[in-house]
Amino acid sequence: MACIAFGRFDDSFSLGSIKAYLAEFISTLLFVFAGVGSAIAYSKLTTGAALDPAGLVAIAVCHGFALFVAVAVGANISGGHVNPAVTFGLALGGQITILTGIFYWIAQLVGAIVACFILKAVTGGMAVPIHSLAAGVGAIEGVVMEIVITFALVYTVYATAADPKKGSLGTIAPIAIGFIVGANILAAGPFSGGSMNPARSFGPAVASGDFTDNWIYWVGPLIGGGLAGLIYGNVFITTEHVPLTNDF
């Protein structure tokens, strides 16, 4: 049974914890800069044309590669969450304390916002695209889509990185996590946008000043990530574990 713990302030403000927050900030900044940047680059190269299959593939591949790197470079410091939904799922599964998770969220959101403002500056003020629902897709459908694809992401994180039984599988965790994100964007991109990451959606919303439907990219991913954490943490991880600040 997973042990959910609030945590202690001295743990959350230790030197190791502060390094972990900085690592989450940097990893999320790098991921969002590349991911959002690929969408801006596509818009520039196609003079603002609607996203076509080739563009969808290119953006999905960019996100997959960027997340692979972002997780890998942060794994030994913070665990390489790079996503509030991942942090939330790991907290519910007993892999990180609630208090430390809150500071992870702050670092991730600030990293995403900074990345989007840098992109806006270096591209000469080009519009920062936000996640939005496609025509004919309602809010409920969008939320359900984000629940399913985020569940797949966080379940993959548990199976390849957080499970104590992972063994040598842990060495390919960043690749597997990048692959599932790329695949999910291919599947969900034409419908909900394929976010799976509240920070990835919130950063562009802040930079553009457009929060239309942004709540969908909080509710869906947090439910999906939370469900994955509760199921994997309570069904498949059988040893009781008391989460520490630097766990995962």
- Domains of the chain by residue range: 9-236
Distance in angstroms (rounded) separating the CA atoms of residues 130 and 238: 40
* Other beta carbons less than 10 A from residue 6's beta carbon: 14
Written as one letter, the residue type at 198 is P
Distance in angstroms (rounded) separating the CA atoms of residues 184 and 224: 13
Residue ranges in the chain modelled with pLDDT below 50: 242, 244-246, 248
Instruction: Tell me which DSSP letter residue 195 carries.
Output: -
Tell me what pLDDT residue 19 has.
98
Helix runs in the chain, H state only: 9-12, 15-45, 53-74, 84-92, 98-122, 139-157, 173-188, 198-208, 216-231
- Residue 205: which residues within 8 A CB-CB, separation 6 or more? 130, 211, 214
Token couple for 237: 């991880």
Distance in angstroms (rounded) separating the CA atoms of residues 64 and 176: 9
Tell me what pLDDT residue 168 has.
87
Token couple for 115: 């990345």
Residue where the block lists tokens 């942004």:
214
* Other beta carbons less than 10 A from residue 50's beta carbon: 6
* Other beta carbons less than 10 A from residue 32's beta carbon: 30
Tell me what pLDDT residue 66 has.
98
Tell me what pLDDT residue 243 has.
52
Nearest-5° angle of CA 61, CA 62, CA 64?
A: 65
Fold of the 9-236 domain: Glycerol uptake facilitator protein (1.20.1080)
pTM: 0.94
Distance in angstroms (rounded) separating the CA atoms of residues 191 and 198: 17
Distance in angstroms (rounded) separating the CA atoms of residues 227 and 230: 5
Tell me what pLDDT residue 240 has.
54
* SS3 assignment, position 130: coil
Distance in angstroms (rounded) separating the CA atoms of residues 16 and 78: 9
Tell me what pLDDT residue 245 has.
46
Tell me what pLDDT residue 244 has.
46
Written as one letter, the residue type at 65 is F
Beta strands in the chain (DSSP E): none
Tell me what pLDDT residue 239 has.
64
